Amino acid sequence: MAGPPAKDIPSDIREFIRSALAEDIGHGDLTTNLLIPREQKCSAHIITREAITLAGLPFAFEAFRLQEADIQFEALASEGERVRKDTVIASIKGHTRQVLSAERTALNILQRLSGIATLTRRFVSEVGELPTKVLDTRKTTPMMRSMEKYAVRKGGGQNHRFGLYDGILIKDNHILAVGGISNAVKRARGAHPFMKIEVEAENLEEVMEAVEAGASIVMLDNMSLEEMREAVKEVAGRVELEASGGVTLENVRAIAECGVNYISVGALTHSAAAADLSLEIVETV
C-alpha cells in the first residue's frame, strides 16, 4: 500500500507542503547530505508517544512523496481513529536522505492536525449524547485552514463557514457600522434572499431583535448559562442558536444542556497542543 494517490491532495495544499519543504530544506539538508550516502535506503516508522485521534497522514505522505516520487508509505491506522500510545501509525521505505529531509515537515503537519483532532474529540465526547453540534471557527493558522478544518471533522466536530465568502455572519462591528441589527439583516436579506443569515447578539434584547428581523441563526456571544437558557426559552425554536465565547472542556457540557443547536469553539484550532509523534529508522540497506 503506497498511501493515497497524489491526485487526491488539493493543489493548494500540495503547494503549501512544497513551500514548507522549501522553507526547511532551503538549498540542501547539510547534515543529512554530509553523513548519508546517496544510494542508501531505509525503512522507518512513525510512532505515537501518547494516545491521540489521528489526522493528517495523507498530507504527511505528500511531504515524503514530493521528496521522492516513488517512496513507499503505508498507513497502519485510519484517519479519525483513536490510537493508543506507542502505536506505529505508518511505515515508510525510501532513500534515507529523502526520508530524513522530509521528516520534520511531515511530522509538523501530522502533529498539528492530530492535535486538533484529539482536542476536538474531547469536546465532542463532553457533549456526548446531546444533539448540540461542536463547530470550529476561522481562528486558524494562516494558509492551513483547509487542513485544520479537515482535522476538526476527523475529530468528530463540524465546520463553521470556511471563510468570509461562503456565509453571512453579521457581527458587532457590522451592526455598529450600519446602525443596528434590523438594518443589517434587511440589507443582507435584500442582497441574498435565500442564504442563511447569522447574527451575533450580546444580550436577550439583541437576540429577539435578530429573530424578528429574520435572522436564520443567532450567535449568543459570551452569554452566561442563565442568559442562554432564557434565550432558548424565548426563541422557542423559531431560529437556530449558536453559543460562542469562553467555551472550555469544563463548561461545554453545561452550555449544551442549555439547549443551543451549536457551540463554536475557537480553541479547537488556535489552542490545540501538537500531538507527540516521532519518526524512527528501523533498518538501512
Q: Distance between CA 122 and CA 164 in Å, rounded?
A: 28
Cα angle value 212/215/220 (rounded, 5°): 95
Per the residue annotation, which of 14, 41, 161, 171 is the catalytic one? Answer: 171
Residue 121 designated active-site: no
Cα–Cα distance for residue pair 117/175, rounded to 1 Å: 34
Give the number of other Cβ atoms within 10 Å of residue 66's Cβ. Answer: 21
Of 41, 138, 139, 161, which is the active-site residue?
139
Contacts of 116 (CB under 8 A, 6+ apart): 55, 148, 151, 152, 155, 268, 269, 272
Work out whether strand 88-95 and strand 168-170 pair parallel, antiparallel, or are unpaired.
unpaired
The one catalytic residue in 82, 93, 104, 196 is: 104
Q: Hunting for cell 448540540 — which residue is that?
A: 132
Is 104 catalytic? The answer is yes
Given the residues 103, 200, 206, 242, select the one marked as catalytic: 200
The residue from 103, 136, 221, 242 that is catalytic is 221
Q: Is 133 a catalytic residue?
A: no
Specify whether 221 is catalytic. Answer: yes
Q: Which residues contact 115 (CB under 8 A, 6 or more apart)?
A: 52, 272, 273, 274, 275
Query: Annotated active-site positions, please?
Result: 104, 139, 171, 200, 221
